[in-house]
Structure 1
Amino acid sequence: MLELGVLDQSVIGPGESATTALWQTVELARRTEKLGYSRFWVSEHHDSGSLAGSSPEVLLAAIGAHTSRIRIGSGGVLLPHYSPYKVAENFRVLEALFPGRVDLGIGRAPGGFPLSSLALRGPAAPVQDDGMPDKLRELGAYLETGQALPAEHPLHGLIASPRVASAPEIWLLGSSDVSAALASRLGARFSFAHFINGEGGQRAVAQYAASFRPGMLGTRAQASICVFVVCAETDERAEREAKAADLRLLYQEKGERHRPYPSVEEAEAYPYTEWERARTAINRRRMVVGGPERVRDSLQELADSYRASELLVVCPIADFRARVRCYELLAALFLRRSFG
């Protein structure tokens, strides 16, 4: 049976506050746990007017306190910006609080724009060379999922606190075969971001599975797919809800990062140019939209094409009630869960 997880981006709905968006994420985690979802991840975005989740570690602490079984994780921590030592300690604290439930998903993207990247890394740090392989090896050493740092390393012998009996599962997140190759080489689990890149993911996941070997970040190959889904009671209602997501992606591509999340009414009134309509059609390749029957068939076809047993769903609907309904409908389709 196909497993479903959640990636929530803490969307700030039209006329709502970031505070509301963050508490809606916590409530969504509580509800999707009851519906039988496998895991609940939160994203990291910076300098955004439409997404509130800038610190997944802090948000995960609140989510863990309001849930009891569902796996919780980052989708993902943007390691190029940070010290592996600090990331390891943050997630060791989470593992101590919620043992056996924590996923450390790691991304390579900046999660924002050049100014926020500069602010996060500091002016003395190189902006172009992210040093990901070395940072990942160092992270594995601190989490004790791989080898210790060699004696000649300047941080040899350093211990990440607190010492706990278990470690989070480490996932590399990516939208190309570059991250897939890195995950297979270092032994990490891998999640392909189909919601970012709707092309080439099947090849990347197949290459990951074929070339995987145990390494610094784990011993078992496991892959998942992350995809935008807009599901409503009818195809027509889902298509209308998806219009706001279409426009938000277009704003993002145009660099209009401080715009609030558009309403459906704003999207319906927007005067698309011919180029913008073409971009929207391309973006729809990253998205599954429809009523229950259409979505069921499309998601199963997508999972089969990837040979994946788990999908992570990003529901890009600003209205919280409609977003919850999307996850309820998916649970009824794939998890055999009813809702009241």
Structure 2
Amino acid sequence: MLKLGVLDQSHINEGHNATNALSNTLQLAQAADELGYSRFWMSEHHASPSLAHSSPEIMISHVASQTKRIRVGSGGIMLPHYSAYKVAENFRLLEALYPNRIDLGVGRAPGGMPLATRALQEGKFPSMHSADRYPQQIVDLIGYLNDATPSDHRFAGLIAEPSISTTPELWLLGSSGGTAELAAMTGASYAFAQFFGTAGGEEAVAHYKENFQPSVMASAPKSLAAITVSCAETEEEAEYHMRSNDLYFLMLRENRPMPYLPSAKTAAEYPYTSTEKAHIEDTRRFRVVGTPDQVREKLLRFAADYQTDELLIVSAIHDNEARIRSYRLLAEAFQLGQH
């Protein structure tokens, strides 16, 4: 049976503020917990006025304390900004607080504008660009999380406290074959960010599975893909709610980012050019929109194409009640709470 999880970005909705956005995140997490979703991940963004997640590790602790069963994690920590040792400490502490419920998803993207990246990395890595250190950071992180740094490591014998008997699941997040190759080489799990609208995901996941090398993290490959979904009782309503996502990402593409997630009404009234309409139509092939039966069929086909048994659902819907209802309808279509 296909497992479904949630990826939340805490969009600040038009007419609301960051406090509202974080409250919406918690409400969604609690609903996902009750509905039978497998995991709930939160993103990391910096200097992004429309997004409220800048420190997912803080939100993980908050959400995990207010839910009962669901795995809670980062989607993801932008590792080049940080010390792999400190990230290992943070997530070992979270795992100690919530055993067998913590996921550590990491990525190499900046998660924000260049100015924010310079501030986050001020005084660090003077001899090389931080991205060049990412593969070594992953190797270091695996060692710290598993008390498995080699004897010739530059910090041999260093333990990331607290030393515990369980380990957070490590996922490498990416939208390219490069991350798939690194995940396979290090024996980590791999998550493909399909919701970015990037082609080549099927090939990246296949490469990961074919080249996976067992490690202290896992003996077999584990993958998932994240995809944008809008589900409603009618196709017309699902289409209406997806308009917020359409306009928001269109403005990002045109380098005119919006300071909020627009309402469906705002998006419907926007004066699109023919070129913009064509772009939205093109990106819709990466989205799943429709009734529960329609969405279920599309997601099953999508999972088969990706050779995966788990998907993360991303729903940038302005109306939080409609967003939760979208996840509820999807859970019912897949009978998530009945397994």
TM-score (norm: length of structure 2): 0.95
Distance across 2 between alignment mates of 1:270 and 1:130: 42
| Offset of residue 336 of structure 1 | 4.8
State how far apart, in whole Å, the 2-side matches of 1:287 and 1:82 are.
32
For residues 194 and 27 of structure 1, the distance between their equivalents in structure 2, rounded to whole angstroms, comes to 25
Percent sequence identity over aligned pairs: 47
Q: CA deviation at 1:123?
A: 4.6
Aligned residues: 336
Q: 1:142 aligns with which of 144, 150, 167?
A: 144
Which residue is equivalent to 2:241? Answer: 241
Kept in 2, the 8 Å contact 1:60–1:72? The answer is yes
Secondary structure, aligned partner of 2:228: strand
* 1:303–1:235 Cα change, 3 Å: same
Deviating more after overlay: 325-334 vs 247-256 = 247-256
One-letter identity of the residue aligned with 1:328: R
1:17 CA drift (Å): 1.1
Is the 1:186–1:218 Cα contact (8 Å) retained in structure 2? Answer: no
Question: 1:19: which partner in 2?
Answer: 19
Q: Which residue of 1 aligns with 2:187?
A: 187
Residue 139 (structure 1) shift: 0.7
The SS at the match of 1:4 is strand
Preserved CA contact (<8 Å) 1:251 1:259: no
Query: Which aligned pairs between 1:124-135 and structure 2 lie closer than 5 A?
Result: 124-125=124-125, 126-127=128-129, 129-135=131-137
In the alignment, structure 1 residue 36 sits paired with structure 2 residue 36: yes
Answering whether residue 326 of structure 2 is matched by residue 326 of structure 1, we say: yes
List per-residue Cα deviations over 1:19-55 (Å, max 9, x = no partner).
1111211121111111011111111111112111111
Deviation at residue 327 of structure 1 after TM alignment: 0.4
Deviation at 1:265, TM superposition (A): 1.5
Distance 1:78 1:124 in 2: 15
The answer to whether the 8 Å contact 2:37/2:336 transfers is no
Task: Find the counterpart in structure 2 of residue 54 from structure 1.
Answer: 54
Distance (Å, rounded) in 1 between the aligned partners of 2:129 and 2:116: 11
In 2, Cα distance between the equivalents of 1:196 and 1:62? Answer: 27
Distance in 1 between residues matched to 2:29 and 2:336, nearest whole Å: 18
Q: What amino acid is aligned across from residue 17 of structure 2 in structure 1?
A: S
How far off is 1:122 after superposition?
A: 1.3
**What residue is the counterpart of 2:301 in the other structure?**
301
Secondary structure at the aligned position of 1:236 is classed as helix
Q: Which residue matches 2:253? A: 253
Indicate how the Cα distance of structure 1 residues 223 and 46 shifts in structure 2: closer, same or farther if over 3 A, else same. Answer: same
User: How far apart are the structure 2 equivalents of 1:280 and 1:127?
Assistant: 35
- Per the alignment, in what secondary structure is the counterpart of residue 10 of structure 2? coil
Does the 8 Å contact 2:264/2:318 carry over to 1?
Answer: no
1:157 aligned partner: 157
CA distance in 2, matches of 1:180, 1:309: 17
C-alpha distance after superposition, 1:107-156 (max 9, x if no partner)? 121111111111111154354634111001111111116x41443x4322
SS in 2 for 1:185: helix
Distance 2:195 2:180 in 1: 16
Please tell me the root mean square deviation across aligned C-alpha atoms, in Å.
1.6
Shift of 1:302: 0.6
Distance 1:25 1:329 in 2: 18
CA distance in 2 between counterparts of 1:219 and 1:116 reads 38
What amino acid is the match of 2:22? Answer: L
Q: Distance in 1 between matches of 2:122 and 2:286?
A: 33
Distance 1:260 1:298 in 2: 29
How many angstroms apart in 2 are the aligned matches of 1:149 and 1:139? 12
Q: Deviations over 1:60-95 (max 9, x none)?
A: 000110012111111111111111011001101100
